[in-house]
Amino acid sequence: MAKKIKTNPNAGEIRDGIHYHQHDVVIVGAGGAGMRAAIESAPQASTAVITKLYPTRSHTGAAQGGMAAALANVEEDNNEWHTYDTVKGGDYLVDQDAAEILTREAIDAVLDLENMGLPFNRTPEGKIDQRRFGGHTRDHGKAPVRRACYAADRTGHMILQTLYQNCVKHGVNFFNEFYALDLVMTEVDGVQRVSGVVAYDLSTGDIHVFQGKSVIFATGGFGKIFKTTSNAHTLTGDGVGIIWRKGLPLEDMEFYQFHPTGLAGLGILLTEGARGEGAILRNASGERFMERYAPTIKDLAPRDIVARSMVQEVLDGRGAGPNKDYVFLDCTHLGEDVLENKLPDITEFARTYLGVDPVTEPVPVYPTAHYAMGGIPTNNDAEVLADNDTVVPGLYAAGECACVSVHGANRLGTNSLLDINVFGKRAGNNAVTYAKTAEFIDLPANPAQGVIGMLDELRASDGTENVAAIRKDLQDTMDMNAQVFRTEETLTKATEVIAGLRERYKNVAVHDRGKRFNTDLLEAVELGFLLDLAEVLVACALNRKESRGGHMRDDYPDRDDATYLKHTMAYLAGDPHSSVATDHIRLDWKPVRLGTYEPKARKY
C-alpha cells in the first residue's frame, strides 16, 4: 500500500493520483435532508458530507413559507387531519402509511429544530406561531387551518443555518464543492452492495473515492430541465441521474409541481405564505377567480389546482399585461406592516426584479417549475429500492431526490421542509445503525475509471455543439410541451426533440481544458443528467393516460383510478446511449399503499 500523503485535511490517501477516504457514513448533499441525516449519524460514527455547494448555499435556503406540523398552537388541529390533507392533496397517490409517519413525527421535527436554536415567529404567549397554507384544513376539509410553523418568509434559510451550526458542533466532515459523479457498487454473494462514491474536487480537478459502509443520497431536485423554474442553476438532478445510470429504478417521474406564484417571466418564487396571510389572486379585470375553481378554500387550494386555474385564466383570455400572459397576486390590502415584517423577502423580490411595490400595487405572477414529487424509490426507513420490494443494502435517500411517497401526485406546501427533517432524520439513524454492524465492502479495481473516462472524453472533445445552447433548447421544449398542461402530441414532440438533443450532446464541446475550477466541464456533465431525467419524465408522462395532481393531460382530463391508481416505475434497459427512449426505458407499475382514506373526487 502506498504511503499516506496528507496535502490538506481533505486530501485522503493518494494512490495512483486518486484520493481515497474511508467513513462509516457517506452523505451526498448538504441541504436540509443531508445535514439532518448528518446530525443523527455524526455523534455515533465517522460521517462525511459531500456537497457541490457550500452547505449554507444549498437550495433548502430558498424555501420561504413554513414547515407543517399539527402543533395546534393557534387553533385546533391534529395529525390525522394533516394526514388526510396530505393524501387528498396528493390526489390519492400518496402511500398512506408513509404519510402517517410524516404527520405523526412532524411535531417532534419542529421541536427538534426549536431546541437546536431555530428562531421561529412567536405568538404573544411565546409559542411557535402558525399560519395558513394551501391545502391544509381542519376537520377533513371543512375550512383552512393554521398549521405552517414559520420564520417570516425565510424558513428554509433559517433551517439551513440551524442545521449547519449543529453539524459543525457534531464534527461533521464536510467536503465542499465536491461533485459526486458516481455510486460505487460491488457484488457480494450475488447481491449488489454499496461500497462508495466517486467525486470531483472543483478546486483542484482531482478525483476522490469515498469508501463507506452506508451511503445517503440527499441531492435535491432537477428543476433546471425547465426554463421557467424557481430552482437554482445547480439543481440538475445529479444524484437522481447517478441512481438512474446505475440501473436502479426511478418512481413517479411524471409528477412535477408547478408553484402558482412565480414572478411572471422570471420564475422567482413568491411564497404561498402570502396567500396564507390573505393575499388574493386576480385576473386582468380584478376578479378573484379562485372562487370559481375552489369555492370553499379559494386561493388556498392545493398548488396543482391553483396553477391550472391560473393557466386556464390566461388561455381563456383573462390574463393581464401587454401579452395577457400572467395574473396578479394582490397583497395591497394586507398593509405595510404585514408585508415588511411577515413577508419581507417576497416584498423585496417584487421591488427588485419587477419594479413593483406589493404594498401599493398587485404583483404579476405565473406558475413556475418548483418540485419533483418523483425520484429515487425508498421505503419508510429511507432505504433505496432496486424494484418494488428489494432493498439495496447500505443505500439510503431522503428529501426531494427521494420518493417515499409522501407527496403522491402533488405535494402540499410546507410538507417539503417537513419531509427533509422527518426522513432526513430517519435516513441518518438507519444508515448509522446499519454501519455499526456492517463491514466495509471492498472497492472494485479502478473504482473511478468510469468517471475519469467520462471527464477525459469531455475535456478532450473537439465537438461543435455548445452546452448552453443544448440546455436552452431542452428547457424551451420542456416549457412548451411538458409543463402544466400536456397531451400526446406535445409529449411526443418533446420526446423527439430530446432524442435530437441527445445526439447533439455526443458532439458537445468543452472549451476549458484545465483542471482547476473547470465549471465548463461540470456544466457539460450536468447537462447529461438533465437530458436523462427530462427523457424519463416525458416517457412516464406519455405512459400515464389520465390527469392526476401535477400531471394534467388535456387529452385525458379525468382521473382514472381503475387503471392508474399506482406508481410508475422506470428502469434503464438496453442501450443507454440510444437516442430513442423506447430502446432504453422500461416502464412498470407499483401498487399504492392505501389506508384509511379511499380515493374520491377532490373538492375544495
Domain boundary among 84, 115, 149: 149
What are the pLDDT digits (tens) for 125-183? 999 999 999 899 999 999 999 999 999 989 999 999 999 999 999 999 999 999 999 99
- Do residue 468 and residue 487 come from a single domain? yes
Q: Which residues make Cβ contacts (< 8 Å) with residue 227, sequence separation at least 6?
A: 267, 472, 475, 476, 478, 479
Domain boundary among 368, 388, 420: 368
Buried b (16+ CB within 10 A) or exposed e, 257-282: bbbbbbbbebbbbbbbbbbbbbbbbb
Candidates 514, 496, 510; CA nearest to 465 is: 510
Residue at grid coordinates 418512481 = 251
Tell me: pLDDT of 272 over 60: yes
Give the Cα separation of 581 and 587 in Å (integer): 11
Most distant CA pair in the chain, distance: 75
Residue at grid coordinates 430517519 = 426
Active site residue 245: no
Domain contains 431? yes
Domain contains 599? no
Tell me: pLDDT of 519 over 80: yes
What are the pLDDT digits (tens) for 335-379? 999 999 999 989 999 999 999 999 999 999 999 999 999 999 999
| Residues 441 and 54 sit within 8 Å (Cβ to Cβ) | no
Domain boundary among 105, 125, 149: 149
- Do residue 275 and residue 172 come from a single domain? no
- Do residue 477 and residue 403 come from a single domain? no
Q: Treating both helix axes as pointing N-terminal to C-terminal, what angle do 32-41 and 415-437 enclose, rounded to 10 degrees?
A: 40
Q: Is 32 marked within a binding site?
A: yes
- Do residue 275 and residue 362 come from a single domain? yes
Domain contains 315? yes
Candidates 129, 127, 85, 122; CA nearest to 103 is: 85
Residue at grid coordinates 402558482 = 260
Distance from the Cα of residue 470 to its chain's centroid? 23
Q: What is the domain range of residue 236?
A: 17-62+157-256+371-437
Candidates 534, 550, 557; CA nearest to 370 is: 550
Q: Is 417 marked within a binding site?
A: yes
- Do residue 311 and residue 457 come from a single domain? no
The pTM assigned to this predicted structure is 0.94
Q: Is 545 marked within a binding site?
A: no
- Do residue 383 and residue 491 come from a single domain? no
Q: Return the DSSP state at 438.
A: P
Give the Cα separation of 477 and 226 in Å (integer): 8
- Do residue 470 and residue 325 come from a single domain? no
* Confidence label for 5 from pLDDT (cuts 50, 70 and 90): very low
Cell numbers at 127, concatenated: 409559542
CATH number for the domain including 564? 1.20.58.100
The residue type at 602? R
* Confidence label for 579 from pLDDT (cuts 50, 70 and 90): low
CATH number for the domain including 34? 3.50.50.60
Strands 47-51 and 18-28: parallel
- The rounded mean pLDDT for the chain is 94
Q: Is 294 marked within a binding site?
A: no
Q: Which of 303, 426, 544, 548 is catalytic?
A: 303
Q: Is 57 marked within a binding site?
A: yes
Domain contains 286? yes
- Do residue 547 and residue 568 come from a single domain? yes
- Do residue 131 and residue 40 come from a single domain? no
* Confidence label for 577 from pLDDT (cuts 50, 70 and 90): low
The angle at the Cα of 341, spanning 337 to 342, to the nearest 5 degrees, equals 105
Write down the number of H helices and E strands in the chain. Answer: 17, 25
Cell numbers at 186, concatenated: 460491488
Structurally, how many domains does the chain consist of?
Answer: 4
Q: Is 276 marked within a binding site?
A: no
